[in-house]
Amino acid sequence: MFFKNVQLYRLPAPWGMTAERLAEALASQAFAPAPSNELLRQGWASPRENGQLVHAANGQFLLSLVTEKKILPSKVINQVAKAKAAELEEQQGFPPGKKAMKELKERVADELLPRAFPARDAVDVWIDPKHGWLVVNSSTASKADDVIKLLLNAVDRLPLESLRVQSSPAAAMTAWLESDEAPHNFTIDQDATLRATGESKSQIGYKRHTLDPEDMRRHIAAGKLCQRLALTWNSRISFVLTDQLSIKAIKPLDVLKENDSVTFDQAERFDNDFTLMSGELANLFADLVEALGGEARG
């Protein structure tokens, strides 16, 4: 396993929470399928499908937030509501007005809900108590917000904060491109997006393309800042850093795959992979924070 896209949060380092205490706190929010008349249901499920809400390995914790949502296509609702509106028009001699039509659609949605198809989605969460990281495996901030909201409700006085750094990622990435020099332990790859800060909001993107220093300086001189930049850390992990301090398109490189231990036991293999990922990413995060001027305090 290897997280693909992450949103980063900070905990005290070290954080004195045990897997047992955390699982006990999450128990009140354990996932259960939504009843037929409920549109949305969220809760914590076992990451290893063994009944344990917190999977612990080598001092690292893994959680899984499951969301079940009933799928009610608007096209179906509109079709049924249109048919019912026609019946009303025939009965009363005039079509329902705007307000009545809105109420009719709401009633139709309620009627169709028990027959709606439930779709489930799971978001993994990794907690590193030793280094103080809480990492949500999602490319979107909204899913991370769901995770954080439920955790704050479940864990009393959870000492969680957003990661804040001294240098804005956009300013730092722009400076790296302008100087054609990556920070220590990093190399610049071939993907980048630069966007103008003025009213034009003009944008240029590079995909698998050499980032010529002169081209970069010309765009920067014209008022563009780097919004996304592909980097490789320590020849071990490639990723894309965004101006919102999200890390996307994470990919372990061959040097990690070659060092991956071989085992025929599925549970042992999972824990080995989890331990490898958590150790490598924790080191990457530390170097990235340093490259961005360190953490902002206070």
Give residue 255's pLDDT band: very low, low, confident or very high (50, 70, 90): low
Whether residues 106 and 129 fall in one domain: no
| pLDDT tens, residue by residue, 99-109 | 888 887 888 77
Whether residues 18 and 153 fall in one domain: yes
**Residue finishing a domain among 48, 83, 114:** 114
Does 188 or 36 have the greater pLDDT score?
A: 188
The answer as to whether 25 is a domain residue is: yes
- Looking at residue 75, its pLDDT comes to 83
- Looking at residue 84, its pLDDT comes to 79
The answer as to whether 296 is a domain residue is: no
Whether residues 185 and 205 fall in one domain: yes
The answer as to whether 298 is a domain residue is: no
Whether residues 143 and 15 fall in one domain: yes
The answer as to whether 53 is a domain residue is: yes
The answer as to whether 138 is a domain residue is: yes
Mean pLDDT of the chain: 91
**Number of structural domains the chain divides into:** 3
- Looking at residue 294, its pLDDT comes to 97
- Looking at residue 120, its pLDDT comes to 87
Alpha-carbon span 45 to 121, nearest angstrom: 11
Whether residues 255 and 218 fall in one domain: yes
| pLDDT tens, residue by residue, 112-130 | 777 777 788 999 999 999 9
Whether residues 84 and 21 fall in one domain: no
The answer as to whether 256 is a domain residue is: yes
Whether residues 24 and 143 fall in one domain: yes
Does 84 or 275 have the greater pLDDT score?
A: 275
The answer as to whether 102 is a domain residue is: yes
Whether residues 158 and 183 fall in one domain: no
In terms of average pLDDT, the best of 30-39, 110-119, 245-254 is 245-254
| pLDDT tens, residue by residue, 222-236 | 999 999 999 999 999
Whether residues 196 and 265 fall in one domain: yes
Whether residues 236 and 204 fall in one domain: yes
Whether residues 108 and 19 fall in one domain: no
What is the span of the domain harbouring residue 81? 74-114
3-state SS of the chain is CCCCCEEEEECCCCCCCCHHHHHHHHHHHECCCCCCCCCEEEEEECCCCCCCCCEEECCEEEEEEEEEEEECCHHHHHHHHHHHHHHHHHHHCCCCCHHHHHHHHHHHHHHHHHHCEEEEEEEEEEEECCCCEEEEECCCHHHHHHHHHHHHHHCCCCCCEECCECCCHHHHHHHHHHHCCCCCCEEEEEEEEEEECCCCCCEEEECCCCCCHHHHHHHHHCCEEEEEEEEEECCCEEEEEECCCCEEEEEECHHHHHHCCCCCCHHHHHHHHHHHHHHHHHHHHHHHHHHCCCECCC
Give residue 259's pLDDT band: very low, low, confident or very high (50, 70, 90): low
Looking at the whole model, is its pTM more than 0.75?
Answer: yes
- Looking at residue 261, its pLDDT comes to 54
Whether residues 54 and 136 fall in one domain: yes
The answer as to whether 139 is a domain residue is: yes
